[in-house]
């Protein structure tokens, strides 16, 4: 049996035996209370009697930010032994820390991504700080505060600048007592600032320093340390810490708590060398480390934090009125709308709220979401280059990562801009979905339900028009509807794509009658169901006065293509918005997304559903939505009990009385063609008085505003960036 002895900063002695890399190793730990002379004496005493000696908390060298200096007392200790190798953990700590970050990220994807990291301290944790620096641009060092009660300094982009910043710290520590270099748990003699710890999402470094200098409340924080004991975990649990990660391997279990220091691990590896004469070099250690099969221990300390799959969803104001209605921006209603929209578009993404309470009744899987808002309206996105929106979505993805999300959904117009999510998915480090697969599925469900409510008994005998048919959502809707209803009218301003879509449908569904057109015209008069999903602005997408009695219009577009004033002209026509969804569980969005409580847009629901299923992958991207994906996501919605919400239009639920009244009117019009013609003619006259618009944007919206007003809005918006600001939805 191999034997090692480890001298540590505490008191007392203990001996244990572990089996590591297939061999039994006896580990004897002896406390020397930071006394260098005692350490030298016991090293000499055990020299030649054990296979390796470890010095825990007695470093020979101090390293911070790439700068190294010898510790005056620590650098002399190894010379006390002439036969047995003496190590302090510095030989394997950097490599194991870098490896541990990779393995922890594999076990818990995104655990460190885009997080605010505080090194407490960074001293002799170069491998850990380097690995974390690759996963986040937000890294700061608490070393000046930990060691000198001075303000911390942030991580900086230049290694040279960082080296210049840390040199004074190391010069003042090279002759410091060992117990000062590795602080132990207990009350600090001089309190440290809580601000750096409050700023951080992840606190990394040494357990003793964190327990000694961190504030009493560390709610929702992640702590990453070299090693920890159960007593350490109990202390952090009481402070509200969510997760603890131990970076060193557990000697007694591949996935157990890492309760052994780097000095102990290095001493064990030295003792287990196949060739006792092998030099203690990086190559020797790498060869030994390659045989370790392990995963850093990730312990959830708060039961409510464990087992939650997280997602994020991006929303934005659908029109300028959403900005006006926000409490922080009510004053903008006194300024020109065009100006307010243009200035707001340049605001960075903003975190809005946490979505809680989602849980699958089938698997029990819990989910948590995060709402993030852009400030640009759809019109502003369309007026600017694609890169303008891509850059803001990339910023939103980084916010999502920091919150622990592993998939982000693109709401409303963010899923339309450019290549419909493909570029964002390529550039982001988390999965992306537009949510359009479930939008298609729930649109068809809502349309089917609406047509049935209006009295249709045999849906296969109807006729359906799809407006904007060559778009990403409408094209797959067209193909799926054609399989159920053999008569479809496809309308789009892209004639070449219309021809291709018609051929696709005829190939997939032989015998289906397909009519194509660039305008709805009089073709709409024969359609029982009209689905509109365009990206048109400032246009009249549908002339509702031409619809047949009792027709159903399903408006999938966001913002909508049909406005309430137009819909009111034909009270016999049932207008609905695309299918909205009830997410299972006691869902709380934490923010008003423009829907009744617990009700979600289908695109948001798809993102939540994928998180619930654990499908953290790019799912619905681009304009070619596949029928296979639509069918798959629909089956998943049934599995996890995602349900179609009540039908709505114009922010109002459609009641049974509404349906009854519409059906009665439709029956009257069908039985009295002359009456219907008068009603339709009157409606056509009234329609001329309604501004031509779609997406809530009229053709005349093109105002120009004074430069002075622009400056006022810019200053006002910038000053309000710290709070919750804009309401947006899909």
Give the per-residue pLDDT at 698: 55
Tell me: pLDDT of 262 over 70: yes
Give the per-residue pLDDT at 489: 96
Separation between Cα atoms, residue 432 and residue 424, nearest integer Å: 7
Tell me: pLDDT of 212 over 90: yes
Give the per-residue pLDDT at 703: 41
Give the per-residue pLDDT at 409: 97
Give the per-residue pLDDT at 153: 54
Cis peptide before 559 (omega within 30 of 0): yes
Confidence of residue 191 (pLDDT cuts 50, 70, 90): confident
Confidence of residue 166 (pLDDT cuts 50, 70, 90): low
Separation between Cα atoms, residue 246 and residue 254, nearest integer Å: 12
Tell me: pLDDT of 159 over 80: no
Sign of the C-alpha dihedral, residues 557, 558, 559, 564? positive
Q: Any residues with CB less than 8 A from the CB of 62 and at least 6 apart, and which?
A: 68, 69, 70, 71, 123, 124, 170, 173, 174, 181
Domain ranges in the chain?
2-87, 93-261+283-305, 308-437+583-646+700-719, 448-579+647-698
Tokens 């001298």 belong to residue: 7
Closest listed residue to residue 6, CA positions, set 205, 197, 208, 259: 259
Tell me: pLDDT of 451 over 70: yes
* Shared fold status for 93-261+283-305 and 448-579+647-698: yes
For the segment(s) 448-579+647-698, the CATH number from 3.90.650.10, 3.40.50.720, 3.60.20.10, 3.40.50.2300 is: 3.40.50.720
Structure tokens at 582: 């009830």
Strands (E), 662-708: 693-694, 697-698
Residue 282 CB-half CA count within 13 A: 4
Specify the fold of 93-261+283-305.
Rossmann fold (3.40.50)
Whether residue 572 contacts residue 666, with contact meaning beta carbons closer than 8 Å, is answered with yes
Per-residue pLDDT tens digits for 650-683: 878 899 999 999 999 999 999 999 999 999 999 9
Percent of the chain with pLDDT over 90: 69
Confidence of residue 148 (pLDDT cuts 50, 70, 90): confident
Per-residue pLDDT tens digits for 340-388: 889 989 999 999 999 999 999 999 999 999 999 999 988 888 888 899 9
Closest listed residue to residue 299, CA positions, set 368, 215, 382, 207: 207
Separation between Cα atoms, residue 315 and residue 627, nearest integer Å: 26
């Amino acid at each position: 049996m191999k034997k090692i002895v480890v001298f540590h900063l505490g008191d007392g002695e203990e001996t244990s035996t572990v089996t590591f890399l297939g061999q039994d190793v006896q580990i004897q730990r002896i406390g020397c209370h930071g006394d260098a002379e005692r350490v030298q004496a016991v090293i000499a005493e055990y020299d030649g009697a054990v296979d390796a000696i470890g010095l825990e908390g007695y470093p020979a060298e101090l390293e911070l930010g790439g700068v190294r200096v010898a510790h005056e007392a620590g650098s002399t200790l190894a010379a006390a032994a002439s036969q047995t190798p003496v190590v302090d953990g510095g030989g394997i700590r950097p490599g194991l820390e870098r490896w541990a970050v990779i393995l922890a990220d594999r076990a818990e994807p995104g655990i460190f991504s885009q997080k605010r990291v505080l090194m407490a301290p960074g001293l002799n944790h170069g491998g850990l700080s380097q690995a974390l620096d690759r996963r986040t641009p937000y890294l700061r060092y608490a070393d000046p505060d930990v060691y000198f009660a001075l303000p911390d300094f942030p991580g900086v982009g230049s290694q040279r600048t960082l080296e210049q910043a840390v040199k004074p710290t190391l010069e003042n520590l090279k002759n410091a007592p060992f117990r000062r270099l590795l602080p132990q748990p207990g009350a600090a003699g001089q309190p440290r600032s809580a601000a750096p710890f409050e700023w951080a999402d992840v606190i990394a470094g040494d357990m003793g320093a964190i327990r000694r200098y961190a504030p009493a409340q560390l709610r929702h924080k992640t702590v990453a340390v070299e090693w920890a004991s159960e007593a350490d975990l109990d202390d952090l649990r009481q402070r509200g810490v969510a997760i603890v990660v131990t970076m060193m391997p557990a000697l007694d279990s591949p996935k157990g708590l890492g309760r052994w220091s780097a000095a102990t691990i290095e001493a064990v590896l030295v003792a287990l060398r196949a060739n006792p004469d092998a030099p203690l070099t990086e190559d020797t250690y790498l060869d030994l480390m390659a045989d370790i099969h392990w995963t850093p221990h990730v312990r959830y300390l708060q039961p409510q934090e464990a087992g939650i799959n997280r997602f994020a969803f991006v929303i934005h104001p659908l029109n300028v009125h959403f900005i006006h209605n926000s409490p922080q921006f009510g004053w903008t209603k006194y300024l020109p709308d065009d100006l307010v929209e243009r200035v707001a578009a340049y605001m960075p993404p903003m975190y809005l709220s946490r979505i809680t309470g989602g849980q699958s009744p089938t698997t029990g899987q819990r989910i948590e979401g995060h709402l993030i808002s852009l400030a640009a309206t759809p019109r502003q996105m369309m007026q600017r280059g694609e890169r303008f929106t891509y850059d803001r979505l990339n910023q939103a993805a980084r916010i999502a990562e920091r919150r622990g999300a592993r998939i982000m959904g693109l709401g409303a117009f963010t899923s339309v801009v450019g290549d419909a999510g493909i570029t964002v998915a390529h550039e982001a480090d988390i999965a992306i979905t537009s949510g359009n697969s479930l939008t298609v599925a729930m649109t068809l469900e809502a349309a089917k339900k609406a047509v049935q409510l209006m009295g249709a008994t045999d849906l296969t005998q109807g006729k359906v028009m799809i407006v904007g048919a060559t778009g990403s959502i409408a094209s797959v809707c067209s193909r799926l509807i054609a399989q159920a209803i053999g008569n479809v009218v496809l309308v789009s301003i892209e004639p070449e794509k219309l021809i291709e879509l018609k051929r696709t449908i005829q190939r997939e569904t032989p015998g289906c009658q397909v009519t194509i057109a660039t305008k709805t015209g009089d073709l709409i008069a024969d359609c029982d169901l009209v689905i509109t999903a365009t990206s048109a602005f400032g246009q009249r997408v549908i002339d509702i006065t031409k619809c047949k009695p009792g027709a159903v219009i399903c408006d999938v577009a966001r913002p909508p293509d049909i406005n309430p004033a137009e819909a009111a002209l034909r009270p016999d026509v049932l207008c609905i918005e695309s299918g909205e969804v009830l997410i299972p569980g006691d869902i709380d969005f934490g923010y008003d997304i423009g829907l009744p409580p617990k009700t979600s847009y289908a695109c948001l629901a798809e993102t939540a559903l994928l998180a619930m299923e654990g499908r953290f992958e790019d799912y619905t991207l681009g304009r070619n939505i596949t029928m296979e994906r639509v069918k798959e996501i629909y089956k998943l919605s049934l599995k996890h009990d995602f349900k179609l919400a009540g039908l709505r239009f114009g922010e109002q639920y459609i009641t049974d009385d509404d349906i009854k009244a519409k059906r009665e009117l439709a029956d009257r019009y069908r039985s009295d063609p002359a009456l219907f013609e008068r009603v339709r003619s009157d409606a056509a006259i009234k329609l001329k008085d309604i501004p031509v618009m779609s997406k809530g944007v009229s053709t005349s919206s093109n105002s120009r505003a004074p430069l002075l007003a622009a400056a006022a809005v810019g200053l006002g918006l910038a000053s309000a960036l710290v709070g919750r600001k804009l309401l947006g939805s899909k």
